[in-house]
């Protein structure tokens, strides 16, 4: 089982709302030890009462999170996190506004001791369409959006519901099957940013609610093994309202316990410890019907002899 620290990259062009997302995530009461690595340390703005210690390039918060400046050596900034007395559970890395997300994902996702979890790209509902046509940065902004696992659409409250729908339609046109999450005031739920709790057994515990959002979590214990090929096909067919899938299942072909991690349109299968319990968790923004339908699609995804009656499904939504 991997002990690598998962990294979520927060990309997006200038003014897309990355800093607001970071400020909210850092000061949120979410119970996870997150390290946030930022380019622009001076822009971080946190209620002083939450700050435990602060020096030139690190702020430690009372909720267990830290915020550190990346400086000019990204690898060294990551090494410093891995070397901490208690390393963080998750890292949120703020990409530079002009970074090609795919390049930074390769850089940090394969850094020794780390792995890529998700590539989230913030897009500003007010300006993203203009920016995408800009003479100087249009190509970059379109590329950032295209490579997103999840698009965090910010400032939707400023443009109104109709314009927000227009932007979403436009985004879907740019990126078929784009996973879009509306984050009007910059709130990015930790379940969306980092997925279900990474400790394997925590999946069977209560799933953390995301009170301020329309995010839903659906959990299910498939009664049979599943096939990788079948799951891969089902993932392709998932509605764009499902942003993340994580689960442990017994691989029908090999009989081994396997970990499925899926963020947006990207997924991977990894070996899991043999004593892991079977479970699938979906995180998304669909209606109950849509989310349950998606779960059915996955659990039926192969399984020639799956018996629906033996499937115990715990479904939680807020």
Q: Using the rule CB under 8 A, which residue among 89, 94, 182, 208 binds another protein?
A: 94
Q: Does position 97 bind another protein by CB under 8 A?
A: yes
Q: Does position 147 bind another protein by CB under 8 A?
A: no
Give the separation between CA 216 and CA 236, rounded to whole angstroms.
20
Instruction: Closer to another protein by CB, 58 or 317: give it.
Output: 58
- Report 271-310 residues binding another protein (CB under 8 A): none
Spell out the residues 6+ positions from residue 75 whose beta carbon is closer than 8 angstroms to its own.
Answer: 107, 111
Sheet of 51-54: strand order equals 51-54, 58-61, 66-69, 34-38, 90-94, 5-11, 114-124, 150-154, 180-183
- Could you give the string, one character per residue 110-139, with x where binding to another protein holds by CB under 8 A and - elsewhere? xxxx---------------------xxx-x
Half-sphere exposure of 228 (CA within 13 A, CB side): 15
Helix, strand, coil % over all residues of the chain, rounded to 5: 30, 30, 40
Minimum CB–partner distance for residue 71 and another protein (Å): 9
- Dmax over CA atoms of the chain, in Å, equals 60
Q: How large is the angle between the packed helices 138-146 and 161-174, nearest 10 degrees?
A: 80
Instruction: Closer to another protein by CB, 40 or 296: give it.
Output: 40
* Stretch touching another protein by CB under 8 A, among 50-58, 89-97, 166-174, 272-280: 89-97
Q: Does position 6 bind another protein by CB under 8 A?
A: no
The three-state secondary structure class of 247 is strand
Q: Using the rule CB under 8 A, which residue among 8, 11, 27, 39 binds another protein?
A: 39
The residues of the shown chain that bind another protein, judged by CB under 8 A, are 13-15, 18-19, 38-40, 42-43, 72-75, 94, 96-98, 100, 103, 106-107, 110-113, 135-137, 139-140, 143
């Amino acid at each position: 089982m991997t002990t690598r620290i998962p990294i979520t990259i927060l990309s997006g062009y200038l003014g897309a709302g990355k800093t607001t997302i970071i400020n909210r995530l850092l000061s949120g009461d979410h119970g996870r030890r997150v390290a946030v690595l930022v380019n622009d340390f001076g822009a971080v703005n946190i209620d002083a009462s939450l700050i435990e210690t602060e020096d030139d390039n690190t702020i430690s918060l009372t909720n267990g999170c830290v915020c550190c400046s990346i400086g000019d050596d990204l690898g060294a900034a990551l090494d410093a996190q891995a070397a901490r007395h208690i390393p963080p559970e998750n890292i949120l890395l703020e990409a530079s506004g002009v970074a090609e997300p795919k390049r930074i994902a390769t850089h940090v996702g394969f850094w020794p001791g780390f792995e890529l979890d998700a590539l989230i790209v913030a897009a500003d509902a007010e300006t993203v369409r203009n920016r995408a046509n800009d003479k100087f940065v249009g190509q970059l902004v379109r590329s950032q959006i295209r490579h997103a696992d999840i698009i965090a659409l910010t400032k939707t409250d400023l443009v109104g519901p109709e314009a927000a729908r227009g932007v979403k339609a436009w985004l879907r046109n740019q990126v078929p099957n784009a996973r879009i999450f509306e984050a009007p005031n910059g709130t990015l739920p930790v379940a969306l940013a980092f997925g279900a709790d990474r400790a394997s057994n925590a999946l069977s515990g209560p799933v953390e609610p995301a009170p301020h959002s329309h995010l839903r979590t659906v959990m299910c214990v498939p009664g049979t093994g599943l096939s990788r090929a079948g799951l891969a096909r089902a993932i392709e067919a998932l509605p764009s309202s499902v942003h993340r899938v994580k689960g442990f299942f017994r691989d029908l072909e090999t009989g081994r316990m396997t970990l499925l991690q899926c963020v947006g349109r990207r997924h991977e299968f990894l070996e899991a410890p043999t004593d892991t319990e079977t479970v699938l968790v979906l995180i998304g923004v669909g209606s109950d019907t849509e989310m349950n339908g998606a779960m059915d699609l996955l659990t039926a995804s192969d399984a020639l002899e799956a018996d629906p009656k033996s499937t115990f499904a715990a479904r939680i939504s807020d």
